[in-house]
Structure 1
Amino acid sequence: MSRLQHVFEALKDKGEGALVGFVTAGDPDPTTSIAVLRAMIDGGVDILELGVPFSDPTADGPVIQRSSARALAHGMTLEKTLQLCRALRQWSDIPVVIFSYYNPILAMGGARFYKESVRCGVDAVLVVDLPPEESREFLDQWSGNALDFIRLVAPTTPPERMAAIAEDASGFLYLVSMTGVTGSAGLNLDEVTATAQRLKQVTSLPVCVGFGISQPEHVRTVCQTADGAVVGSAFERLIEENLKAPDLAERLRRYARTLKAATRR
């Protein structure tokens, strides 16, 4: 059983949803990034999404764009992101998802990316701008099935398309809560709930909802229907607002704790 499967099954038995926490690898700098990860995990994050900093993150809002710029300014790369996961494996068994645009992975090569990810303890990958129709050339380079490939589902996706996407996915499905970029305002929780219900009718994979999720009330509502909530921009906003604060890690830990409490059904 994979780490992702184990976490979802254990949480289901406890009547909890998964708190999926996103943070850009190397933000605000490589050394502090380790403290950030520790704080989020200590605060109760169940699954960690490590974002690969990218110069043109078209699906991300201003907060995550700036986090990528800070990480890139400190020399963060895809290779160093994988090494960050390897370092994390010395003290944590939390499932780690690499969240990336395709360009850095294409430059590394699909075969090498798979080999290095497995070696460094990565559990899954989500490639934001690689639709199912274009992903075969990437997946065909994998030499095994030790990595899950997580697919995105948009709020405008019709049920038959949802089913087709789910059939070629593993790990979990990432349901985008709204049209627009990460951190957008205007979250309609009733619409999110209805979309999550439609998606769960066509798949047995866990469904996690992201984009615009920032408050405990959001997490609580999402986890009544979906299997987990993804929080990203809100974590990065907290980092950005406290870049020089000596208690940055503790602030992240407390925030994660409040979000995790809201996953309990």
Structure 2
Amino acid sequence: MSEPAVTGPSVAASPGPESPGSPFFARRAPGRPGLAMFLNAGDPPLAVLPELLAMLDDSGVDCLELAVPFPDSPTDGPVVRASAARALADGVTPRAVLDAVAAARPGLRGPRIALLADWSHTVRGTDPGDFAAAVRDAGCDGLLLHGVPPRLRRAHYDAVYRAGLPLVTTCYAASGPDVVAEAADHASAYLYLVAHYGRSGTAAAWDRERLGAVITTLRSTASVPVAVGFGVRTGGDIALLAELGADAVVVGSAGVARIEQARAAGRDPVEELRTFVSELRAPGPAPATDGHERGIRS
């Protein structure tokens, strides 16, 4: 996977509306990372989004990273891509996603919603300010923009800041110092630290020492929580990231796979996810290590 576009303005910007008091992961207990769940909107169906959010609330999940589904994502593996395809086959559109969030939002107490949108499939051709305002007005708490062309980043990210919509920024553990610094400078919702290169749902080895060092750097420079994703599948993985200093973790493919399994078996996907979250919250040993390299499946 190529170096991600830093999701922040390309020039110095005014401080975002969320500061160190960001509501993202504010409910996390001392010593325990916050928990974000990635899901494609529409898988499970949008009609159950209120029930799904209520379950996440009851289960102590801090954030739903809700993706507007788009086809053939170059950074996602087969599990997430199949999930997006199911949602698209059911007719899920960006407008339908925002309408579903707006309908579900009034009953939501704890979890925050960060909308993930792909520029090419979802945003291209729209006015940046109009899009940012629509996301804000639907009740989303933050926005992660994926794949914005370099020449258009400034207009889109400036529009997000003007709309008062907090930004999720991204960088890799292997990113260069300038990319890491820019991600820290412009994050106003949370900073998503991608643990390794590759597609989601694929096997990869990563360097524990490097990851720990980047987490330490980001926590000293970012004004918002640092959430680590790619490779978080078990309570043991979460325990390890807690040791390394992560403020939060992002669980993606592992949860999406449980939805796929539930649907194939005719089980309730919301209850399947409830069980999975309980498993993640259960204490468990950190994965075994061999030197400073550790293999994790995302």
Instruction: Indicate the TM-score class for this superposition, using the shorter chain for normalisation.
Output: 0.7 to 0.9
Q: Report Cα offsets for 1:104-159 as digits up to 9, x if no partner.
A: 12234312212211211111111122377742111233483421111111122122
2:28 pairs with 1:11 = yes
Distance of 2:18 and 2:219 partners within structure 1: 21
Partner of 1:129: 147
Q: For 1:223 and 1:137, how far apart are their aligned partners in 2?
A: 36
Q: Structure 1 vs Structure 2: percent identity of aligned residues?
A: 31
> Partner of 2:117 in structure 1?
100
Q: For structure 1, which segment, 84-93 or 207-216, has the greater mean C-alpha deviation from structure 2 after superposition? A: 84-93
User: Of 84, 100, 111, which residue of structure 1 is paired with 2:100?
Assistant: 84
Q: Report the AA paired with residue 210 of structure 1.
A: G
- TM-score normalised to the size of structure 2? 0.79
Structure 1 residue matching 2:236: 3-state secondary structure: helix
| Residues 200-253 of structure 1: CA deviation (Å, up to 9, x unaligned) | 343333110011211111111112311000001111100111104334322210
**Contact kept? 1:43, 1:252, Cα under 8 Å:** no
1:242 counterpart residue number? 262
**Equivalent pair of 2:187/2:222 in contact (CA under 8 Å):** no
Alignment of 1:95-244 (within 5 A): 95-103=112-120, 104-130=122-148, 134-142=152-160, 144-188=162-206, 190=208, 191-224=210-243, 225-243=245-263, 244=265
Question: Any conservation in 1 of the 2:133–2:163 contact (CA below 8 Å)?
Answer: no
Report whether the alignment pairs 1:256 with 2:277: yes
Q: Distance in 2 between matches of 1:170 and 1:143?
A: 9
Whether the 8 Å CA contact 1:99–1:125 is kept in 2: the answer is yes
Do 1:177 and 1:187's aligned partners in 2 also have CA atoms closer than 8 Å?
Answer: no
Q: Distance in 2 between matches of 1:10 and 1:101?
A: 29
Mean CA deviation greater in 18-27 or 159-168: 159-168
For the aligned residue pairs, the C-alpha RMSD in angstroms reads 2.5
Change in 2 beyond 3 A, CA 1:85/1:261: farther
Report the more deviating stretch, 173-182 or 77-86: 77-86
Check the 8 A contact 1:43/1:255 in 2, yes or no: no
* Structure 2: gaps of 5 or more residues: 1-16, 285-298
Q: CA deviation at 1:57?
A: 1.2
Return the TM-score normalized by structure 1: 0.88
Count how many residue pairs are aligned between Structure 1 and Structure 2: 262
Cα deviation code 1:48-96 (max 9, x no counterpart) = 1101100121111111100100000111111111112112213213211
Structure 1 gap segments, 5+ residues each: none
How far apart are the structure 1 equivalents of 2:104 and 2:48?
13
Is residue 25–residue 63 contact of structure 2 (8 Å, CA) maintained in 1?
Answer: no
State the distance in 1 between where 2:202 and 2:178 align.
27
Residues 35, 249 of structure 1: 8 Å contact kept: yes
